[in-house]
Structure 1
């Protein structure tokens, strides 16, 4: 039986990039451009406001916070004196808003981006229309050295989003939201990324071929998919998983995926087998297994991922399942 998350915080815009740091939950609000810290006992604290909308979060080894400026195409660094300094300018290497970010223990950062103006497209078209050949543009992950200099770019991906480091530090797993898959990269000694390989497909190979088909079959498949993505119908369907934020489970082997198309978090084994599902009240953009017990599942949920509309609705939520273990 699918478990259901409970609502812990509400009245937010777009809670994203959930992180656990020094005994508290941290997250960005993509609609308001703010970074928040919540210790679980009161209202979340607003830590800072980021020019160009706050996105991915991480910390350097000395404790300074790194935060993505989505629309500014930059990564900022919060100095010890409270000043916000530019850590890296990536505006020249990305095709759309910057997005999530992983910062490894050495301070190297891996920054994804949309690749195009996704929200402008989705305001006019159903998501399935993105797959009209030649499909959505691909875009790389930017790999940054601890000082913010560019180490290199990965092979282009379909909307690189949530990112994880393997326990041994030798590889990086990336959620390709529009590719509906998890992809793994080996890491070179300097921290740059090697060639991508599949970690887990999250859509059947047949449906992937149909939705990308150039002929009549593709047009019909995309129209049916657009109908099933309607909010009234999508809550009854769990067939599609568009991975947004991702988190290691407490077993350090399987990965929890925030399904951007549905109100759920899904636990995935290597290779793509679904191990567990947790229902949330709305579409889920970020998830994290952490907390004082190390086994609480946090989920950032929204009625819409459009930051303008979400900022008007103020219905973003942090939802939790405690503890989150094997069923």
Structure 2
């Protein structure tokens, strides 16, 4: 049964299970928050930069945060944020860290919140040393990403193409073998989470759902909600879903605080990089 974990969130995104807590970014509150399975919350970072969007993952236990508006990748240290890499540009939407300390960052190619017209986006690879290069282009609004446990495959949610796209990862971090991992039909993928069986949970805002699919597109389970589902994450036994009311770009208001995190027990937990 799905149960509420936390409410009163301005605009939740980018959930990550780390060190026994669920971490997420509250974009409109300019915060990264960690919450225990009992619902106890702690603000672990307050940003002094615009945070639509702000995504993060963990590198050696430290949050690695994308400041999209500044085109920077920041590492949160005990003494504060330091620049890990200069991405250039703006509009970055998601990050996933690889087992070698490198990471992938994708971007929509345009500023949705500013009302810009669609332009294809890209995927960047940032090495452990902070070297940045483009490794894929033509991405139709890149959203959630996941790496398979052996690090050999990167899966990217393309919201505007209504599909999950896979790439084979070369030893140097570059990408090859682009292919459709799952055609989602009328599904609009946002954040995703890969489970230990190799299936992917797909968040969907307009369809107010989170769906578990196999490679090839077979639907294994679908959960529906009262609000749009923006992102999801897995612990060893729980699916965490970030939902909020979506009234379009012009309807985003920090005062609304319709965001919630819901917890749903699952028999197959998270995938972990080996």
Does the TM-score normalized on the shorter chain lie above 0.5? yes
What are the ranges of 5 or more consecutive residues in structure 1 without an aligned counterpart?
123-129, 131-135, 204-239
What is the match of residue 245 of structure 2? Answer: 303
Cα distance in 1 between the residues matched to 2:103 and 2:11: 23
Q: Does residue 117 of structure 1 match 2:111? A: yes
**Equivalent residue for 1:254, pick from 188, 192, 199:** 199
Cα distance in 1 between the residues matched to 2:225 and 2:168: 33
Cα distance in 2 between the residues matched to 1:18 and 1:201: 24
Q: Say if 1:202 and 1:7 are closer, same or farther in 2 by CA, change over 3 A.
A: same
Q: Give the number of equivalent residue pairs.
A: 266
Cα distance in 1 between the residues matched to 2:137 and 2:92: 16
Shift of 1:74: 1.4
**Equivalent residue for 1:26, pick from 23, 26, 42:** 23
**Equivalent residue for 1:75, pick from 65, 73, 78:** 73
- Give RMSD over aligned pairs: 2.1
Q: Does residue 59 of structure 1 match 2:58? A: yes
Measured against aligned partners, the alpha-carbon deviations of 1:66-115 in whole angstroms (never above 9, x if no partner) come to: 01112222111112x331111122223xxx52111101122111111121
Measured against aligned partners, the alpha-carbon deviations of 1:28-84 in whole angstroms (never above 9, x if no partner) come to: 1122221111112343111112222162211223x22201112222111112x3311
What is the match of residue 137 of structure 2? Answer: 155
What is the match of residue 47 of structure 1? Answer: 44
Q: Secondary structure at the match of 1:106?
A: coil
Task: Please state which structure has a larger fraction of its residues in strand.
Answer: 2
The alignment's TM-score, normalised by the length of structure 2, stands at 0.90
The alignment's TM-score, normalised by the length of structure 1, stands at 0.76
Moved over 3 A (4+): 305-308, 323-326
Q: How does 1:107-256 map to 2 (within 5 A)?
A: 107-121=101-115, 136-203=118-185, 240-251=186-197, 253-256=198-201
Contact 1:14 1:29 in 2 (8 A): yes
Cα distance in 1 between the residues matched to 2:80 and 2:193: 30
Shift of 1:168: 1.9
What is the match of residue 272 of structure 2? Answer: none
**Equivalent residue for 2:2, pick from 5, 11, 15:** 5
Contact 1:310 1:316 in 2 (8 A): no
Moved more, 34-43 or 155-164: 34-43
Cα distance in 1 between the residues matched to 2:7 and 2:250: 16
Contact 2:108 2:122 in 1 (8 A): no
Q: Secondary structure at the match of 1:71?
A: helix
Q: Does residue 282 of structure 1 match 2:227? A: yes
Q: Say if 1:285 and 1:42 are closer, same or farther in 2 by CA, change over 3 A.
A: closer
**Equivalent residue for 2:35, pick from 35, 38, 46:** 38
Computing the radius of gyration over CA atoms, which structure comes out larger, 1 or 2?
Answer: 1
Measured against aligned partners, the alpha-carbon deviations of 1:269-323 in whole angstroms (never above 9, x if no partner) come to: 1111211101122101101121xxx121100011026497241201111011123
